[in-house]
Amino acid sequence: MAEEKNIIMRTENLEIRFPLKKNTIFLKRKYVHAVSDVSVEIFEGETFGLVGESGCGKSTFANATLGFLKPSGGKIFFRDEELDVKNKHKLRLQRNDMQKIFQDPSTSLNPRFTVEQTIGEPLRIRGGSSRNEQKEMIADMLKKVGLSENDMKRNVSDFSGGQKQRIAIARALILKPRYLVCDEPVSALDVSVHAQILNLLMDLQGQLGITYLFISHNLASVRKLCDRIAIMYLGRIVECGSSQAIFSNPLHPYTMALISAVLDTSSDSGSKRIVLRGDAASPIDIPEGCAFFQRCPFAKEDCKKLSCELKEYEKDHFAACPFINKK
């Protein structure tokens, strides 16, 4: 990351909350705070990893960057232009360069469609190409994702999970997007095909130079794929930096706990595993101070009150914990 890079996706203090049903009119309306105060920059051509436990707001964040959700606060910029959910026409133009690979290919592909219909759908919607051109592009794309041209007429539901995900990848790439959200692309698949799909994604990035927003709770695959990583906890980014920096020198206690939980076969460090106690706090009533306070192995009394903001501790390595240097 030495050379200066263009920012493709940027969020400024992004906040997304969902209203809860009110039981009485006198009570204050409560919200689920899915994403709070997230400012992230994603550079063109990189793979940006977003890691966190389930329910911490990773997918919500990703969906917001695709214009599926209206931010409750803050702004999202795609190539320096604000993403406005209400401006349908502009959103449509901006979405021309965005795509998403969904978590579970068995629900993200219409079971009534053939492979050709599925992959060709974005082409048909956009128009501007003839039947034969479309067919060629689909055949070409099928080869790229490792399927055969003969599969075109087969029904999507005939394929296995890994193959379905390949079809989903082909559909996402057919319009040559610049920004691709991979929302846990392998977590619904059999372990034996994880590596295949991840390798495919890496190869395709090498060929096409796409920017990935890679969401995962699997640190091993994130380490393998991502240039930069952000760790999310209860809707906030607690640590953000280059993949190398985070794995070699984790600053936030939550990151440490996550990394210590990864099975490391070349374990020469002899580091002890940090086991977190309890569950994450409720995203409805987020504690005032550090959200991680209750589970933090290094928690002090002050943590309850001190608000934790991201600070730069090394170059391009941010963390949100005031006691980092004192551990």
Partner 1 sequence: MSLIKGMFIGIWNFLKKIWDDKQGRTGLIIAAFLALVAIFAPLLTPYDPYDVAMRDDKGLSPSLEHILGTSITTGQDIFSMLIYGTRVSLSVGLITGLAIAFLGTALGVAAGYIGGIVDMVLMRIVDVMIVIPTLPLTILITNIFGKSYVVIVLVFVLFGWTGLARTVRSQVLQIKNTDYVKAAELSGGSKGYIMLHHIMPAVSHLVVISTALTCAGIMIAEAGLSFLGLGNPTAISWGKMLADAQSGGSMLFGQWWTIIAPGIGIFLSVFSFMRIGLAIEGILNPRMKKSGDARKLWKHMNHRYLDEVLRSMEDTV
* Binding positions for partner 1, rule: CB under 8 A: 66, 68, 92, 95-96, 98-100, 102-104, 107-110, 112, 121-122, 125-126, 168, 171-172, 175
Gap between the Cα atoms of 95 and 277, Å rounded: 42
Distance CA 327, CA 256 (A): 12
CB of 327 to partner 1, least distance (A): 42
CB-nearer residue toward partner 1: 152 or 156 = 156
d(CA 296, CA 318): 18
- Closest to partner 1 by CB, 6 vs 96, is 96
Shortest distance (Å) from residue 110 CB to partner 1: 4
Find the shortest distance in angstroms from Cβ 152 to partner 1. Answer: 18
Residues 325 and 268: beta-carbon distance below 8 Å: no
CA 63 from centroid of its chain's CA atoms: 9
- Residue 129: both structure tokens together: 């190409």
- Report in angstroms how near the CB of residue 19 gets to partner 1 at its nearest: 16
Please report how close the Cβ of residue 302 comes to partner 1 at its closest, in angstroms: 44
Q: Please say which residue, 91 or 281, places its beta carbon nearer to partner 1.
A: 91
Q: Alpha-carbon distance 161 to 221, whole Å?
A: 19
Q: Which is nearer to partner 1, 19 or 73 (CB)?
A: 19
CB nearer partner 1, residue 111 or residue 209: 111
Q: Shortest distance, CB of residue 120 to partner 1, whole angstroms?
A: 10
Taking residue 102's Cβ as centre, other Cβ atoms within 10 Å add up to: 19
Residue 75 Cβ vs partner 1, minimum distance, rounded to whole Å: 20
Residue 119 neighbours by CB distance under 10 Å: 29
DSSP letter string, 68-105: SS--SEEEEEETTEE--SS-HHHHHHHHTTEEEE-S-H
Whose Cβ is closer to partner 1: residue 171's or residue 178's?
171
Q: How far is CA 142 from the centre of its chain?
A: 25
Q: Report whether 14 contacts 57 (CB < 8 A).
A: no
Which residue type is seen at 235?
A: G
Cα 160 from chain centroid (whole Å) = 24
State the DSSP string of 159-182. S-HHHHHHHHHHHHHTT--SEEEE
DSSP 8-state symbol, 250: -
Summary count for the chain: helices (H), strands (E): 10, 12
Closest approach of partner 1 to the CB of residue 121, in Å? 6
When the beta carbons of 31 and 102 are compared against partner 1, the nearer one is 102
Q: Which is nearer to partner 1, 112 or 143 (CB)?
A: 112
